[in-house]
Structure 1
Amino acid sequence: MLPQNSKFSYLLLLSGLVIIFSFSYNIYKEFSGSASCNESTNFIDGLGGPIELIDQNESFFSLEDQDTRLSLVYFGYSYCPDICPYDLERNAYVKDIMDEKQLDINLIFITIDPSRDTADRLKDFSEFIHDSMIALTGSKDEIDSLKKEYGVFGRSNKIDNEDQSYLVDHSTFSYLINKDGRVLTFFNRRETPEKMSEKIECFY
């Protein structure tokens, strides 16, 4: 039998090890990039809506008519010099990961610059990003309405009507939505494809 002092020291040491292990595990979870399905998977109230636009093949696109349950949506513009291509390449990789898991998902790009992003322009752009990407355009009013419904910021620095080399400042979130256009979750630019795919899998 251990002496009283030794027993107390042993228990103190054991308690310390438990605390250290618990702290280390929480730090690991924080930085390991693993997603947890214990997180809320409810709709984000007041964000999202139906999508009915024209795709890169000049065909009418309706989100609710799609066979695929979930869609990963990004708002941007094809003339974007760096941010949009980078984010869309990441989303395309997420699409490939989900395909490998046999979990189908739509990869959707919606322009916030409809005056320049015609269907023909988006056809070339979509082929550059991913062969299954759905690229959508519409009237200015239709795009402005969607921007409002999805909380998307977008503002051009166009000087006049002759200026065709303008840039567009815009938000850079990617939205996971269902067929009704309800936003399930969203991702910022720092999210990795692996972490995004793990989170998306929670909704299947």
Structure 2
Amino acid sequence: MALTKSRNRWKFIRWPRIFLSKSILWICGWKYKYAVSTDVTKAVMVVAPHTSNWDFILGRLFYNALDIRVRFMIKKESFVFPLNIFLKMWGGIPVDRKNPGTIAESMTKKFNEYDELIIGITPEGTRKPNPHWKKGFYRIAVQAGVPMVLTYLDYKRKLGFVGKMVYPSGNYSEDMKILSEFFAECTPCHPENYVTPQY
């Protein structure tokens, strides 16, 4: 299953990766659940809580298993040969972290350039307790006119959940209430490192 139906045309090429990811998750006792429309071709995937490096590894396995092509923002300095080859393969998009004010604009341009684009963002910006989420994910969604797809990893239930789609209203505080309630459902890898976001 994927956020974009057109990707099913080439699914036979990706099948080994899908099968391997599903097998690893099954062996490890993890399940996954998907409750978002497959008609969406562009979105900001909001991933939280982020308290461990395992989040990225498991997240990648889940995206592969669900056949979702998720891309991530990575500082442009990391894109040097030969590391840049692997970063691009894993969906990395170079951004200028030294000028954070330009990121939302550059990502909006990316959304305009591509017919299909899902960008994954961990709004906490750190694996330590942080009640003040970075607002870049919200600015990107508003400026690009795309929905936010809420996703979490529940370590208690061993469940990866792509579970809610929220179109930004432009009222950050009101929309954050929805996000906060959604992410309160799960248990992160290190619960002591997650606090309810303030908005």
**TM category, shorter:** 0.3 to 0.5
In the superposition, the TM-score normalised over structure 1's length comes to: 0.32
Larger radius of gyration: 1
